[in-house]
Amino acid sequence: MSFKILFYILFIAVSGTNQAQSHTKKLLPLCIETPHCLSSQTEENKNFVIPFKIKSTPNEAWKDLKNKLNHYSRITITHETPTTIHAEATSLVFKFVDNMDFILDKEQNMIYIQTSSRSAHSDFGVNIKRIDILRAELQKDKVIN
């Protein structure tokens, strides 16, 4: 009987450890050191963009973000999960494609962002302007700070 209790305690301890270790922070794609890549998970100051700090509920902010992205005619969500979005933004004239990635972190009440141009060394500030416009719209809706 004591063997069963010991086995049960050991099983619970190991299971708890695995669950704790299995929860890892989801990471955005790495930014290479060029002016066209911005990330809220980088340590490089010149490539850093402030993540969206959620003011409302995470689900409301996430839904509003998806609605905003779907509103733009030249932004297409190409892949999504309950906590990630990958979108592509196409420029009007030359049809350059920029990647946009978002990760919802419900525990931290944050939406992490990464955006980068696929084809050029410089994007002439288009990616940061796009994020700033998106940030302003989400702030207007009172879902982020």
- Reported as a single tens digit per residue, the pLDDT across 65-89 is 999 999 999 999 999 999 999 999 9
Interval 99-124: pLDDT, tens: 999 999 999 999 999 998 877 666 67
Burial grade of 36 (CB within 10 A; 0-12, 13-18, 19 or more): buried
pLDDT at 22: 31
Q: Which fold has domain 26-140?
A: TATA-Binding Protein (3.30.310)
Q: Are strands 84-90 and 75-80 parallel, antiparallel or unpaired?
A: antiparallel
pLDDT at 30: 73
To which H or E segment does residue 3 belong?
A: helix 2-22
C-beta separation of 143 from 61 below 8 A: yes
- Mean per-residue pLDDT of the chain: 81
**Could you tell me the pLDDT band of residue 31, with boundaries at 50, 70 and 90?**
confident
The CA distance from 103 to 36, in Å, is: 19
Higher-scoring residue by pLDDT: 32, 7: 32
pTM: 0.78
User: Domain-by-domain residue ranges, the chain?
Assistant: 26-140
